[in-house]
């Protein structure tokens, strides 16, 4: 079978490896406009801040390794058109400008996503030197170099999602004066409710970072073609370096006839099939069924990218047992001594969507107080008010231990449509070294159903 893969980062690499591991007879050609693959962008802040010493450690695969498995790898090649009717793709070799066509029996679309730009900024100001984005290995190299540049003293990070908060912490560690700006009034508002973000914001301020929340960026100012200030609707902030981290948009323009969500992510079924014959979409470009939202959503996570690649490849190879019935958007972050994880939908978002939800929030020590030491844990469960079905969970760990991995079974509960009572009777253990007789998950459920005597 002749298979073309468009995009060879996490999703594309996963699909290619799986295709050939299950059936080495395939004729596979993979195209990517970049010059490298498998870069773990989630580790950029760790290198910028100095936790990870060698940026090359963030790669886990190379084109040569994939070629040894039997694939035809075409780096620095841009697919500029796809014709589903003729099953052809038009490709431009970026090193020679030569344009040619290729054919396929099956096509896997893994074109990924790209950082969203800030609207309405004059082009000449948006193009100022040191106004950067964060996505690729090449971007990481620049951000690392500038972290060690003594002439760069003031750093403005626009966007307080995961990447923005992590970079703010990283540049703070490098001794820079950092301003974190967001149109939203809270950090990490997409993932966590105020019970978690309030403490995080307090810790961000204690670290010496200026928070400019609820402010809209309207312009950049510069001198000698270099940025000097970020202008918002409420103020002006000195900036020798600006990093735009306002989100990502799926790269799906090559498939205009594909069925898409409102943000143009390609809707796929449980096998990653699109509505176009013999075309699969995986990774950041696709929208899978979200168990909490109960609709198709783009969830741009490397974990989902890898799983979607395995699923599409397995289906092409005739294995229908491997499928993704749903996702829950499970994620985590560790910044400013806040170890946070969430899955599903948070309460603020649920209420904005007019869902009939209730929530249960507790703070507790993670081990019995008679132990020599213990840490603080927070948990919030968001659930359907009528059925008690779990729709979302948030966990915060503080101190020497982390309990973020508990989010795994709460994500599974969301995917399996379990209620609070189902979860309450999960067979768990108690041991003073690790938890309390009523651990924080059970305690939050008991509170939700009115049995909150654990507080005594």
CATH number at residue 350: 3.30.390.30
Q: Are residues 86 and 184 in the same domain?
A: no
| Local structure of residue 404 (DSSP, 8 states) | G
Domain-located, residue 291: yes
| Local structure of residue 222 (DSSP, 8 states) | E
Q: Are residues 73 and 27 in the same domain?
A: yes
Domain-located, residue 184: yes
Give the pLDDT band (50/70/90) at residue 400.
confident
Q: Which two tokens stand for residue 95?
A: 């090193």
Instruction: For 67-76, write each residue's pLDDT tens digit.
Output: 999 999 999 9
What average pLDDT does the segment 417-439 reach? Answer: 94
Instruction: For 364-385, write each residue's pLDDT tens digit.
Output: 999 999 998 999 999 999 999 9
Q: Are residues 160 and 213 in the same domain?
A: yes
Q: Are residues 366 and 275 in the same domain?
A: no
Domain-located, residue 361: yes
Q: Are residues 184 and 108 in the same domain?
A: no
Domain-located, residue 427: yes
Q: Are residues 179 and 94 in the same domain?
A: no
Q: How far apart are CA 244 and CA 83, in angstroms?
A: 34
Mean pLDDT of the chain: 96
Give the pLDDT band (50/70/90) at residue 301.
very high
Give the pLDDT band (50/70/90) at residue 145.
very high
Q: How far apart are CA 293 and CA 290, in angstroms?
A: 5
Domain-located, residue 45: no
Domain-located, residue 330: no
Looking at the structure of the chain, the number of domains it has is 3
Residues of the domain holding 399 = 341-455
**Residue 17: CATH number of its domain:** 3.50.50.60
Instruction: For 384-398, write each residue's pLDDT tens digit.
Output: 999 999 999 999 999
Q: Are residues 239 and 269 in the same domain?
A: no
Domain-located, residue 329: no
Domain final residue pick, 246, 261, 294: 246
Q: Are residues 235 and 284 in the same domain?
A: no
Domain final residue pick, 246, 271, 306: 246
Residue-wise DSSP of 252-307: -TT-TTS-B-TT-PEE--TT-B-SSTTEEE-GGGEEEEETTTTEEE----HHHHHH
E runs forming strands in 71-176: 72-75, 77-83, 88-93, 99-103, 106-109, 113-115, 131-133, 154-158
Q: Are residues 383 and 412 in the same domain?
A: yes
Q: Are residues 230 and 253 in the same domain?
A: no
Domain-located, residue 28: yes
The residues that are catalytic are: 10, 42
Query: Are 10 and 309 spatial neighbours (Cβ–Cβ below 8 Å)?
Result: yes
What lies within 8 Å, CB to CB, of 92 at 6+ separation is 77, 78, 79, 80, 98, 99
Q: Which residues face 361 on adjacent strands?
A: 380
Q: Are residues 31 and 88 in the same domain?
A: yes
């Amino acid at each position: 079978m002749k298979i073309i893969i468009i995009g060879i980062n996490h999703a594309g690499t996963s699909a290619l490896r799986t295709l050939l591991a299950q059936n080495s007879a395939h004729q596979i050609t993979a195209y990517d406009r970049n010059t490298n693959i498998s870069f773990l962008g989630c580790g950029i802040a760790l290198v910028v801040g100095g936790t990870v010493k060698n940026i090359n450690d963030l790669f886990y695969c190379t084109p040569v390794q994939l070629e040894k498995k039997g694939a035809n790898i075409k780096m620095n090649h841009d697919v500029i058109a796809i014709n589903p009717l003729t099953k052809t793709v038009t490709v431009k070799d970026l090193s020679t400008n030569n344009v040619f066509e290729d054919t396929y029996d099956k096509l896997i679309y893994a074109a990924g996503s790209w950082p969203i730009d800030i609207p309405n900024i004059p082009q000449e100001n948006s193009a100022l030197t040191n106004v950067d984005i964060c996505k690729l290995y090449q971007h990481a190299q620049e951000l690392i170099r500038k972290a060690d540049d003594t002439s760069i003293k003031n750093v403005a990070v626009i966007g307080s999602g995961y990447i923005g908060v992590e970079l703010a912490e990283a540049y703070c560690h490098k001794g820079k004066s950092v301003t974190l700006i967001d149109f939203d009034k809270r950090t990490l508002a997409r993932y966590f409710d105020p019970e978690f973000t309030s403490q995080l914001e307090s810790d961000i301020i204690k670290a010496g970072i200026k928070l400019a929340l609820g402010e809209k960026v309207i312009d950049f100012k510069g001198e000698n073609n270099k940025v000097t200030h970020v202008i918002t609707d409420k103020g002006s902030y000195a900036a020798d370096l600006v990093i735009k981290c306002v989100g990502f948009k799926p790269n799906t323009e090559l498939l205009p006839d594909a069925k898409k969500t409102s943000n143009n992510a390609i809707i796929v079924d449980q096998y990653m099939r699109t509505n176009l014959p013999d075309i699969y979409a995986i990774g950041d470009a696709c929208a899978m069924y979200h168990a909490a939202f109960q609709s198709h959503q783009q969830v741009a996570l490397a974990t989902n990218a890898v799983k979607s690649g395995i699923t599409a490849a397995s289906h092409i190879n005739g294995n229908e047992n491997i499928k993704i019935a749903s996702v829950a958007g499970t994620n985590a972050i560790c910044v400013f001594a806040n170890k946070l994880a969430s899955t599903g939908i948070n309460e603020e978002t649920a209420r904005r969507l007019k869902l009939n939800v209730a929530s249960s929030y507790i703070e507790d020590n993670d081990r019995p107080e008679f132990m020599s030491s213990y840490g603080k844990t927070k948990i919030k469960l968001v659930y359907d008010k009528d059925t008690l079905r779990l729709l979302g969970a948030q966990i915060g760990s503080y101190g020497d231990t982390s309990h973020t991995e508990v989010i795994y079974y709460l994500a599974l509960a969301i995917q399996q449509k379990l209620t609070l009572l189902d979860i309450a009777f999960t067979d768990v253990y108690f041991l003073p070294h690790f938890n309390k007789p009523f651990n924080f998950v059970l305690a939050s459920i008991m509170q939700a159903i009115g049995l909150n005597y654990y507080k005594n």
